[in-house]
């Protein structure tokens, strides 16, 4: 429970940080707005041509009598739209981060400099095109994992009782984990932590990750809300990445870790002589 609360505190701290740095907040809104327009256009297209697609995909039902034909294709249309919304939630962060890579790199570095004892921020030393390539490659890998989970959970949704109780909860936990991975990747990638090491690091602190990512995933169900929370989510993920790697925060810094975060359960990165994955 302590790690769950600490994860949520990082989410709040990130929102408070951007609220105190209006220029950085406005800068960080642009990628989310661009992504929102693209996703709304895709969902509108799905709504307009979804019926034609379902009819084309089910020619075997053309001769069914009423009302079975309408009920069957209506059900498939609802399923198709629900799947589209699920994929939009799962992929919104990845696409926004890909579009906004330069924006969020700058935002994350600013947060690091603000809270670092020496006022510096780690840099990858890679050219922009290389960073974009790594980000796109890793995002694709995460999206494939998320899609597999989505298909599995969708299938499990038809199990009586479990599909209406346990499966939605597991779905939000999975969404929260992948959202957190994508967001912390901005800060961890600059520190040379590759995808495999990032996943291992996050799995070692699942409660912290769920406390951060699951409430965010619930909020991201409303695309407009996602746009306005995204800059703060990147800032909070940067603060959490520092915690995951056991990095210190200077006294008196904006959004200094509060008692919940500072007293979070110990993890390997904080133990003397331990090795941080990917470093």
Residue pLDDT, tens place only, 198-244 = 999 999 999 999 999 999 988 877 767 878 898 999 999 999 999 99
What are the structure tokens assigned to 217, written together? 């995933």
Question: What are the C-alpha distances in Å from 41 to residues 35, 36, 169, 210?
Answer: 10, 9, 29, 30
In 28-118 the beta strands, taken as DSSP E runs, fall at none
Residue 249, pLDDT score? 75
Q: Which residues of the chain have pLDDT under 70?
A: 90, 126, 128, 223, 250-279
Q: Which of 184, 199, 195 is nearest to 14 (CA)?
A: 184
| Residue located via tokens 């499966």 | 167
Residue 268, pLDDT score? 40
Residue 253, pLDDT score? 56
- 217 within 8 A of 176, measured Cβ to Cβ: yes
Residues 6+ apart with CB under 8 A from 214: 172, 173, 175, 176
Question: What are the C-alpha distances in Å from 82 to residues 3, 43, 79, 154?
Answer: 32, 10, 5, 10
What are the structure tokens assigned to 241, written together? 């990445």
Residue 271, pLDDT score? 41
Residue spans of the domains in the chain: they are: 2-267
Residue 257, pLDDT score? 45
C-alpha R_g of the chain = 21
Question: What are the C-alpha distances in Å from 36 to residues 30, 43, 86, 198, 242?
Answer: 10, 10, 15, 27, 29
Residue 111, pLDDT score? 93
d(CA 64, CA 68): 7
Residue 211, pLDDT score? 93
Residue 35, pLDDT score? 86
H or E element, residue 141: helix 128-156
Residues 6+ apart with CB under 8 A from 178: 90, 93, 142, 145, 146, 149, 213
């Amino acid at each position: 429970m302590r790690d769950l609360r600490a994860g949520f505190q990082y989410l709040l701290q990130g929102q408070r940080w951007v609220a105190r740095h209006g220029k950085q907040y406005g800068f960080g809104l642009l990628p989310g707005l661009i992504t929102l327009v693209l996703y709304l256009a895709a969902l509108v297209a799905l709504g307009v041509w979804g019926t034609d697609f379902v009819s084309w995909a089910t020619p075997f039902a053309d001769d069914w009598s009423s009302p079975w034909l309408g009920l069957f294709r209506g059900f498939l249309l609802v399923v198709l739209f629900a799947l589209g919304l699920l994929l939009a939630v799962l992929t919104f962060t990845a696409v926004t981060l890909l579009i906004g890579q330069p924006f969020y790199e700058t935002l994350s570095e600013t947060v690091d400099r603000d809270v670092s004892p020496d006022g510096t921020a780690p840099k990858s030393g890679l050219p922009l095109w290389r960073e974009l390539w790594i980000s796109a490659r890793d995002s694709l890998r995460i999206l494939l994992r998320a899609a597999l989970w989505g298909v599995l959970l969708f299938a499990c949704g038809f199990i009586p009782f479990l599909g209406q109780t346990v499966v939605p909860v597991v779905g939000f936990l999975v969404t929260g984990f992948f959202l957190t991975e994508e967001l912390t990747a901005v800060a961890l990638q600059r520190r040379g932590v590759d995808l495999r090491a990032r996943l291992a690091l996050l799995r070692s602190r699942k409660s912290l990750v769920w406390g951060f990512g699951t409430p965010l995933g619930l909020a991201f169900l409303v695309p407009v809300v996602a746009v306005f929370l995204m800059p703060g989510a990147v800032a909070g993920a940067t603060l959490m990445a520092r915690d995951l790697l056991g990095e210190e925060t200077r006294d008196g810094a904006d959004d200094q870790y509060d008692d919940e975060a500072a007293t979070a359960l110990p993890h390997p990165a904080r133990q003397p002589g331990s090795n941080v994955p990917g470093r």
